[in-house]
Amino acid sequence: MPDIRKVIVTGGCGYIGSHTVVELAEAGIEPIIVDNLSNSRIEVLDGLARILGKRPAFFQVNCCDTGSFQNAIKASGKIDGVIHFAAFKSVGESVRNPLKYYSNNLGAMSETLVAMEEFGIPRLIFSSSCSVYGNPDVLPVTEDRLLGNPESPYAITKQVCEKMLMDLLTSGSKMDAVILRYFNPIGAHPSAHIGELPIGTPENLIPYVTQAAAGVRPPLVVYGNDYDTPDGTCIRDYIHVVDLARAHVFALNHAIGTAGVQFARPEIFNLGTGKGNSVMEVIHAFEKSTGKTVPFRIGPRRAGDVVKIYADVSKAEKEMGWKAALTLEDALKDAWRWEKRSKE
């Protein structure tokens, strides 16, 4: 691993952020968490401590608060990079409350870039989303596909954040940057010390599946079974969150390997498995791998949902040396283990 010692992780107490903190620490990189806990819990630090043997450095700061954010950076010493997760992420909520998403997601990205320029932090890994592709007409989706019409305000914020970064680099910034377009992360750390635990009613499929199976929630609502797919339910590329987290270390390595090269645009990589599964396939796979029944009912379509999407991941394997190693069943078993432990 090239010489990189300390990285700011915005949103590091969140679902993907916390798993990435583990992978960074295990790769010998010190993670500095910046999170305002608006959509995460302070107890995540306890889970990280159990996995890593100590609590990571933590600043309870909103990235949109310029002064506090920059003070956290100053207090952290020399920073070699930023991994920017901090954003609201629910497609459904963004449709219901778009201004919340425009204000927070765009503001957090802008302030992060301003701070990086101010302190000369040389590399950024940006947490983007496959939602920027809209409803693709060709599958699997490659990184060079023209971005589609976003299906939700959440997706629009990811598109605009990518454009913000591209405009900064075009202006002559010396920053090296990698954009990672996530498909659908699921699962939990195999230790069951950290995992996906949404505040309030889950908007994502898997935490609702596990909570419905545990009897914590009413039956799962499958939003539409009349789509143009084999079983009528939406298709996604579900990737184990540990695989996704590992990719951020590879991305840092890739950015360092190209340091000094001025990109006309940031490097972009899809992160998925390259395989799509429908909602019903996921439900059946969960029942088979855990022995638990998932109560569900069919409901109307949900605004903002893409019909089907899965990734072409050959670029990430070829250029970064990263490939997903864990299966759908692995992810579902780990998600169920986390669900059980989180209720103890």
Give the pLDDT confidence score for residue 259 in this predicted structure.
43
How far is residue 308's CA from residue 166's CA, in Å, rounded to a whole number?
A: 27
pLDDT, residue 203, reads 83
15 as an active site residue: the answer is: no
Phi/psi of residue 239, nearest 5 degrees: -120, 140
Q: Domains, the chain, ranges and CATH? A: 6-188+238-272 (3.40.50.720)
SS3 341: helix
Residue 103 token pair: 């204000």
Q: Along the 344 residues of the chain, how does pLDDT read in single tens digits?
A: 458 999 999 999 999 999 999 999 999 999 999 999 999 999 999 999 999 999 999 999 999 999 999 999 999 999 999 999 999 999 889 999 999 999 999 999 999 999 999 999 999 999 999 999 988 889 999 999 888 888 899 999 999 999 999 999 988 888 999 999 999 999 999 999 999 988 778 888 999 999 999 999 999 999 999 999 999 999 999 999 999 999 999 999 888 654 445 544 689 999 999 999 999 999 999 999 999 999 999 999 988 888 999 999 999 999 999 999 999 999 999 999 999 987 66
Note the pLDDT of residue 1.
46
Residue 174: what pLDDT? 86
- CA–CA separation, 192 and 341 (whole Å): 7
Q: For residue 235, how far is the Cα from the chain centroid?
A: 18
Closest CA to 281 of 217, 344, 180, 205: 205
Residue showing tokens 């490659």: 142
Q: Which long-range contacts (CB under 8 A, 24 or more apart) does 289-294 make?
A: 289/329, 289/332, 289/333, 289/336, 290/213, 290/332, 290/333, 290/336, 292/213, 292/214, 292/336, 293/213, 294/209, 294/212, 294/213, 294/220
Q: Quick check: 225 and 219 in contact, CB under 8 A? A: no
CB 11 within 8 A of CB 89: no
Pairwise CA distance, residues 147 & 155, whole Å: 11
Distance between CA atoms of 35 and 40, rounded to whole angstroms?
A: 8
Q: What confidence score (pLDDT) does residue 2 get?
A: 56
Looking at residue 141, its pLDDT comes to: 96
Predicted pLDDT at 260? 46
Q: Exactly one of 15, 101, 133, 154 is catalytic; name it.
A: 154
Tabulate helix, strand, coil % of the chain (nearest 5). Answer: 40, 15, 40
The pLDDT assigned to 264 comes to 47
Residue-level pLDDT at 305:
86
